[in-house]
Amino acid sequence: MSQVAENSSFVTPIFWGVKSGMTRIFDASGNHVPVTVIKLIPNYVSQIKTLEKDGYNAYQVAYMQKREVLVKKPTKGHLAKANILDKCLSRFSEIRIDSDADVSLLGKDLSLSKFAPETLVDVTSLSKGKGFQGVMKRYHFSGGPASHGSHFHRHPGAIGNRATPARVFKEKKMPGHMGNKKVTIQNQTIVSINLEKGYALIKGVVPGHKNSVVKVSLAVKNS
């Protein structure tokens, strides 16, 4: 696993990692604890946005390393301004702040000092895409009889409302594209974090498929 830089200097309540899969561990009492393994990847401040120039204050964070040949020229020029061209980063996100941004943090890597074990976090990622699905799989409809000559098996049934209102209401549960949406699971617990080996263990499930990018932030509700 990739190691996080040791000279981390930018303390932040958010970082981006990669979902490596799930496993289990045993706590001090011998209880079985299911955990999701998050691979810690380098996160660098690639741009400082200010109220005067951009209309709001924020730190732009770059992550997800690629081979140099796969990084586009405009992206290379953007990374060069922050003196992190050699990192070959390809994805960018922002951390908005209320106060003025510290310009000296440009090119610095993110510190994970706030993410100690037992810390509550919110985890955000794209859920697994299931393609086009019917109402039984998508919304858990019970369906019709499975035998005895029935012609109603997995269909949604009637959806109309006669002459009034003579239309289908919005948000009606019908077949369609399932999954591949941004999902946030709140108040997950960090079981362990190892900066040397570059991984964090989060209790329970985390949205997204294996190798998907996940955003880990301090819990908003903190309960």
Instruction: Check residue 223 and give its pLDDT.
Output: 55
> Looking at the DSSP assignment, which residues form a beta bridge with residue 80?
none
Kindly tell me if the per-residue pLDDT of 40 is higher than 90: yes
Instruction: Check residue 4 and give its pLDDT.
Output: 53
Mean pLDDT of the chain: 91
Confidence band of 6 (pLDDT split at 50, 70, 90): very low
Torsion of CA 111, 183, 78, 89, to 10 degrees: 60
Q: Which of 50, 56, 61 is nearest to 110 (CA)?
A: 61
Q: What percent of the chain has pLDDT over 90?
A: 76
Instruction: Check residue 101 and give its pLDDT.
Output: 82
Q: SS3 breakdown of the chain: % helix, strand, coil, rounded to 5? A: 10, 40, 50
Could you tell me which residues come within 8 angstroms of residue 111 by beta carbon, excluding any fewer than 6 positions away? 8, 9, 10, 11, 12
Which is higher by pLDDT, 9 or 127? 127
List, in sequence order, the alpha helices (H) in the chain. 51-54, 73-81, 135-139
In CATH terms, the fold of domain 10-129+179-218 is Elongation Factor Tu (Ef-tu); domain 3 (2.40.30)
Instruction: Check residue 12 and give its pLDDT.
Output: 78
Kindly list the domain boundaries of the chain, sorted by start residue. 10-129+179-218, 135-176
Residue 136 in 3-state DSSP?
Answer: helix
Instruction: Check residue 64 and give its pLDDT.
Output: 94
Per-residue model confidence as pLDDT tens digits over 121-152: 999 999 999 999 999 999 999 999 988 899 89
DSSP secondary structure string for all residues of 39-67? EE---EEEEEE-HHHHSS-EEEEEEEE--
Which is higher by pLDDT, 1 or 4? 4
Per-residue model confidence as pLDDT tens digits over 145-182: 988 899 899 999 888 878 888 888 999 999 999 999 99
Kindly tell me the burial class for residue 65, based on how many C-beta atoms sit within 10 Å of its own C-beta (0-12, 13-18, 19 or more): middle
Which is higher by pLDDT, 222 or 188? 188
Kindly tell me if the per-residue pLDDT of 1 is higher than 80: no
Q: Are 35 and 203 in contact (CB under 8 A)?
A: yes
